[in-house]
Amino acid sequence: MSEFTIERVKTGIPGLDELIEGGFPKGDTILVAGKAGTGKSILATQFLYNGAVTYDEAGVLVTLEEAPKMIRRNMLRFGMDLKKLEEEGKLAVVDLSPSKEATPVTIGEYPSFDLSGLEAIIMNHVKKLGAKRIVLDTLSIMAYKFKSRDILREEFFKLAAHLTDEGRTLVLTSEIPEQHDGLGVFDIEAFLASGVIVLYNEKISETSRSRSIEVLKLRGSQHSSRIHSMRITEDGIRVFPGEIGSG
Ligand SMILES: Nc1ncnc2c1ncn2[C@@H]1O[C@H](COP(=O)(O)OP(=O)(O)OP(=O)(O)O)[C@@H](O)[C@H]1O
Ligand SMILES: [Mg+2]
* 76 touches ligand 1 (CB under 6 Å): no
- Over its C-alpha atoms, the chain yields an Rg (Å, rounded) of 17
Between CA 115 and CA 152 the distance in angstroms is: 9
Please work out, in degrees rounded to the nearest 5, the angle formed at the alpha carbon of residue 64 by the alpha carbons of 48 and 46: 20
> Of 14, 246, 161, nearest to 172 (Cα)?
161
Alpha-carbon distances, residue 231 vs 53, 71, 212 (angstroms):
22, 19, 8
DSSP-derived secondary structure letter, 5: P
Confidence of residue 188 (pLDDT cuts 50, 70, 90): low
Query: What's residue 218's pLDDT?
Result: 92
The CA-based diameter of the chain, rounded to the nearest angstrom, is: 52
**Tens digit of each residue's pLDDT (9 = 90 or more) over 60-115:** 999 999 999 999 999 999 999 999 999 999 999 999 888 776 655 555 554 456 78
What are the contacts of 219-224 at 24+ separation with CB within 8 A?
A: 219/25, 219/28, 219/194, 219/195, 220/6, 220/25, 220/194, 221/6, 221/20, 221/21, 221/25, 221/195, 222/21, 223/19, 223/20, 223/21, 224/19, 224/20
* 133 touches ligand 1 (CB under 6 Å): no
- At 199, which amino acid appears? L
Instruction: Report all structural domains of the chain as residue ranges with CATH numbers, in order of start.
Output: 8-174+191-244 (3.40.50.300)
Look at ligand 1, atom 23, and give the residue with the nearest C-alpha: 37
- Centre of ligand 1 to C-alpha 203, Å, is 16
Query: What's residue 184's pLDDT?
Result: 46
Ligand 1, atom nearest to 173 Cα: 22
Is the pLDDT at 156 greater than 80? The verdict is yes
Is the pLDDT at 236 greater than 90? The verdict is yes
| Nearest ligand for residue 232 CA | 1
Look at ligand 1, atom 25, and give the residue with the nearest C-alpha: 36
- Centre of ligand 2 to C-alpha 96, Å, is 14
pTM of the model: 0.93
Give the mean pLDDT of the chain.
89
**Tens digit of each residue's pLDDT (9 = 90 or more) over 49-60:** 999 999 999 999
* 51 touches ligand 1 (CB under 6 Å): no
Is the pLDDT at 135 greater than 90? The verdict is yes
- Centre of ligand 1 to C-alpha 116, Å, is 31
* 211 touches ligand 1 (CB under 6 Å): no
Among the residue ranges 58-67, 94-103, 195-204, 214-223, the one predicted with the least confidence is 94-103
- Helix and strand numbers (H, E) in the chain are 7, 11
Hey, which of 63-67, 104-108, 128-132, 182-186 has the most confident mean pLDDT? 128-132
